Amino acid sequence: MRRLTVHTVPPGRNSLWQWPKAKHPLRVIYNFLLITISRYIPSLRLKNFILRRTGMKIGKDAAVGVQVVFDYMWPELITLEDNCIIGYNATILCHEFLVEEYRTGPVVVGHSALVAANATVLAGVRVGANAVVSAASLVNRDIPDNAFAGGVPARVIRFRDGGVTP
C-alpha cells in the first residue's frame, strides 16, 4: 500500500508543467543545491547536517552513501530512521508527475534497514525496520519489518529470521 496524495491539475498541459505552482522555485533550487553537494561529501556527519537543512528527518547514526539521489522537490517527506543505510547511487522519490495529476507521498526507511546500491524507492513507501532491499531493486510497495526483498518490482524473498515468504 502506498500512501499518496493526489493533486489534480487543469486540463491541457501535463502535470510537470505545473511544478512551479506546486513548489516555490527558489525552494526547489535550494534543495537541489544542498542535495547535489551532499552527493559528493564523504563525511556522514556533514552529509546528514546538510540534508537536514532541506527538511529531511534523519535519525541517529543513519548513513547515506555517495551519489544518493533524494527527491529535491519534497525532501521534507523523507524520514531515515536511526541506524539505517542508504547505499551508493540509490534514489528516493516523494513525488511522481503523471499527465493529468501529480502525486506526493512520504517515504520512511526504518530503523536499521538497508536500501542497497542503485535501488529506487518510490513515493508513499515504507521500508520496515531491519529490512534489506537488494541492489538495483524498484520498491513500489511497503517492505515489512525483517524482510529481505529484491527485484523489479521488489518482492519479499524471505525474512531475515530464516522464514520463507508464504
- Please answer whether residues 98 and 104 qualify as being in contact, where contact means their C-beta atoms are separated by less than 8 angstroms: no
Three-state SS at 132:
strand
| Distance between CA atoms of residues 137 and 132, nearest Å | 11
Per the CB < 8 A criterion, the answer to whether 62 and 38 are in contact is no
Which residue, 27, 7, 4, 3, is CA-closest to 16?
7
Active site residue 95: yes
DSSP string, 40-78: T---HHHHHHHHHTTT-EE-TT-EE-TT-EE-SSSGGGE
Catalytic residue, chosen from 7, 24, 95, 111, is 95
Question: Do residues 78 and 93 make contact, with C-beta atoms less than 8 angstroms apart?
Answer: no
Q: Which residues form the catalytic set?
A: 95
